[in-house]
Amino acid sequence: MFKNVWVYAVVGGWPESLTVLEDALTAMPFVPGTASQDKTVGWMPARGQSHGVMAESVNGQWMLRFMVETRQVPASIIQRRVEEACEQIEATSGRKPGKKEKRDLKEDIKAALLPQAFPRQQSTWVWLDPTTHRLVLDTTSAARADDILTALVKLLDGFVAEPLNTATSPTTAMATWLAEQAAPAGFAIGQECELKSADESQAVVRYARHPLLTDEVQAHLAQGKQPTRLALQWDDRVNFVLTDSLQLKKLAFEDSVLDQAKAQGQHADDFDGSVLMATAELGPLIGDLIDALDGLAPFGMAPAKPDTAPPAPAAAPNTGMPGASVTPTVTRSDRGVTTRTLQSNPNDDSPPF
């Protein structure tokens, strides 16, 4: 159900009841857009059934489903049509169109081509936890999160949600864990990481399916590079990648969790079972992660900024674990950003944990 997690704290306007929430959401149902609309948003029944309720409660957890439909004309096609129109105007009138005329041409051409574009629909799971007053979105897209939050603000009186702000920034914590080569209690470091330099070089080093508790990683930390992504495992139950903005990506449940769910009669296409498993695992995970980041900072304060990464002992880079076949690859250098990706075995498609 959840592939990503972006957590918000609801600091105002929490719905008084599931009924109040349902009544609010029904005021903004999803309706497919017309051929001339480039974007349409709204709420759909959580179970995906026609005429079902928008807000479902499973074991006291509230689940919603937000739908976005978009029509998009490739920018290259619009640009080519604009250039052709400008050439036609210049050939017939002897003058070159100005900026405003080009802008109007672009809008007219886009409007003419839009009905030919295929609509694309994407739904997003939205979880409201009445116990912690947290809002959990199954997305890491800022645009999608903004659509959902804007809709909730319009529909719920006084609704205010803020991204979680921890006392220790994820970047600082991840740097400490890598430097000390130890994750906090309940967590284990995986095999995926991204390190970025804060200086003018903006160098980026990415590790995929590669051991991270190595002298090479220590050397990058000592040079001032800071982690922006780090693969972690929680309680031998959930794998994920933590980002510097406190998002959880690439969520994957361990087989033991899935087997336990099956033993309890839950199936992949079972809405109630999926919600029960996801919320039962992710709720404690989020709580433990907040504890690992030294708790929440007071609301209203500026988001925690990463401190300088703790110094790591300088050492000559090595390949890490004995016997690992490491293939360093410089992918490209654009706009002054140098990216280097390393992975142990290019043929190994195992997850980064």
The answer on 275 and 321 residing in a single domain is: yes
The verdict on residue 350 lying in a domain is no
Same domain, 331 and 196: yes
Domain boundary among 102, 135, 163: 163
Are 104 and 122 in a shared domain? no
Q: For the residues of 264-293, what is the DSSP string, one character each?
A: TT--TT-HHHHHHHHHHHHHHHHHHHHHHT
Asked if residue 50 and residue 109 are part of one domain, the reply reads no
CB contact at 8 A, 82 and 106: yes
The more confidently predicted of residues 217 and 116 is 217
Count up the domains in the chain and report the number.
3
Local confidence band at 349 (pLDDT 50, 70, 90 cut-offs): very low
Would 309 be classed as within a structural domain?
yes
pLDDT band at 319 (very low <50, low <70, confident <90, very high): very low
Q: Is the pLDDT of residue 250 over 90?
A: yes
> Torsion angle, CA of 132/59/68/1, rounded to 10 degrees?
100
Per-residue pLDDT reduced to its tens digit, 54-92: 999 999 999 999 999 998 888 899 899 888 888 888 888
Same domain, 263 and 303: yes
SS3 call for 166 = strand
**pLDDT tens digits, one per residue of 13-34:** 999 999 999 999 999 999 998 8
As a whole-number percent, the residues of the chain with pLDDT over 90 amount to: 61
Q: Residue 31: name the closest of 17, 39, 21, 42 by CA.
A: 42
Distance, CA of 186 to chain centre: 23
Q: What is the DSSP code (8-state) at residue 3? A: S
Alpha-carbon distances, residue 31 vs 23, 25, 28, 42, 154 (angstroms): 17, 13, 9, 7, 17
pLDDT tens-place string over residues 273-290: 899 999 999 999 999 999
Establish if 348 belongs to a structural domain.
Answer: no
Average pLDDT of 163-183?
A: 95
Residue count of the chain: 353
31 and 54 part of one domain: yes
Q: What is the pLDDT of residue 346?
A: 44
CA torsion angle for 73, 78, 80, 83 (degrees, to 10)?
180
Instruction: Give the residue numbers spanning the domain of 101.
Output: 75-116
33 is a domain residue = yes
Compute the average pLDDT of residues 122-148: 96
**Which among 83, 98, 116 is the end of a domain?**
116
Q: Flag whether 352 is in a domain.
A: no
Number of neighbours of residue 127 by Cβ within 10 angstroms? 23
- For the chain, state the CA radius of gyration: 24
Distant-in-sequence, close-in-space partners of 107: CB < 8 Å, separation ≥ 6:
none
Q: Quick one: 152 and 53 in the same domain?
A: yes
